[in-house]
Amino acid sequence: MKIAFFDTKAYDRDIFQRVNEKFNLKIKFFDTKLTEDSVSLAKGYNIVCVFVNDVLNKNVIDKLVENGVSLIALRCAGFNNVDFPAIDGRLKVVRVPAYSPYAVAEHAATLMLSLNRKIHKAYARTREGNFTLSGLVGFDMNGKTAGIIGTGKIAKILINILQGFGMKVIANDPYPDYEAAVKMGFEYVELDRLYKESDIISLHCPLTKETEYIINKDSIDKMKDGVMIINTGRGKLINSVALIDGLKTKKIGSAGLDVYEEEAEYFFEDKSDMVIIDDVLARLLTFNNVLITSHQAFLTREALANIATTTLESIDDFINKRELKNEIAYICDNIKCVIKDMKLN
């Protein structure tokens, strides 16, 4: 079977080629994202492998089926870009449920520390010979409260890190792991209390209809003055316009974003010679208390190796008609499409 990889970068091609020495699969790498305009490239391929910003709407899925594609392999954990009702059992879908929760948790902690101690500002200053300390005052994380929304693998690792700083941790999750809470020493609370008491709020929940814009004007109004917000999950967990308003009024003291709700046009690409026409993203980039990274939380050597290995193992299992351990289990009827396992993080 022939496999088309979309939206690949040099680091993708390097690691997948090395791991593929074990499997000897027939892979073709494309730089372009999978969209309605590029889906014709999948003609003649049996399997497509895609990433977080590839488009898998009804039109694309219909064309993939028409072209003879029988498996979609997501080389990521999230799948909010997949229109499952349109799939309706015509294709199999697999993902990488966990590539390195340490990578994402450590990046979230990095954003917190950098924002708190103004590392990005200090770096820019000293590069120009400015060694003043004005405007670089941070706070002791010891004794402060961190609110964690979503308590999967990534969040639990982050909780351990933050407790190492001496922080109190409170959390919210629709599927609470009370055993872990007792063992690790954190407390599950209602969202309103989490908003009210947290000095830092970090998002680690999947993007669903229930969590879309979980950070919005109403929730921001309930937060502590000067709260720090960290998002290494999905862009649409935060209403960016409400975030900007909170930053302007100083209700939000700082924000660390590894994702952005309209990131597909910009993230993973070099746009340094272009004007950013996304007014919201352009505005966020003007705040010196906002630190934006381009969806790189996952980007460690260990994570890339795990992504490649898990993805190619799933493809090899599909080709050889073995059980698909990482298949996304879903049930579709004429009314709704239900994902069985929503504990993704």
Task: Report the half-sphere exposure of 254 (CA within 13 A, side-chain side).
Answer: 22
295 is catalytic: yes
Q: Which two tokens stand for residue 195?
A: 């908003």
- Measured distance CA(145)–CA(200) in Å, rounded: 7
Q: Where are the beta strands (DSSP E) in the chain?
A: 2-5, 26-29, 47-50, 71-74, 92-94, 145-149, 168-172, 187-188, 200-203, 227-231, 252-257, 290-292, 330-332, 337-339
Candidates 301, 308, 311, 326; CA nearest to 19 is 308
Provide the β-strand partners of residue 170.
Answer: 147, 187
The CB-based long-range contact list for 52-57 (8 Å cut-off, 24+ gap) reads: 52/76, 52/78, 52/81, 52/295, 53/7, 53/81, 53/263, 53/264, 53/267, 53/268, 54/6, 54/7, 54/81, 55/81, 56/81, 56/82, 56/83, 57/83, 57/86
Give CA separation, 42 vs 12, 35, 61, 67, 294, in Å. Answer: 19, 11, 11, 7, 27
Token pair 């001496």: residue = 166
Catalytic option among 75, 234, 261, 313: 234
User: Would you mind telling me the total number of residues written for the chain in this entry?
Assistant: 345
* CB-based contact 234:78 (threshold 8 Å): yes
Beta bridge partners of 245: none
Residues 6+ apart with CB under 8 A from 302: 100, 102, 103
**Catalytic residue, candidates 106, 261, 263, 313:** 263
Q: Is beta strand 290-292 parallel, antiparallel or unpaired with respect to 71-74?
A: unpaired
Is 263 one of the annotated active-site residues of the chain? yes
| CA-to-CA dists, residue 173 to 19, 155, 187, 244, 342, angstroms | 36, 11, 11, 26, 11
What span, in angstroms and rounded, lies between the C-alpha atoms of 177 and 174?
A: 10
Of the listed 75, 95, 107, 295, which one is catalytic?
Answer: 295
Which residues are tagged catalytic?
234, 263, 295
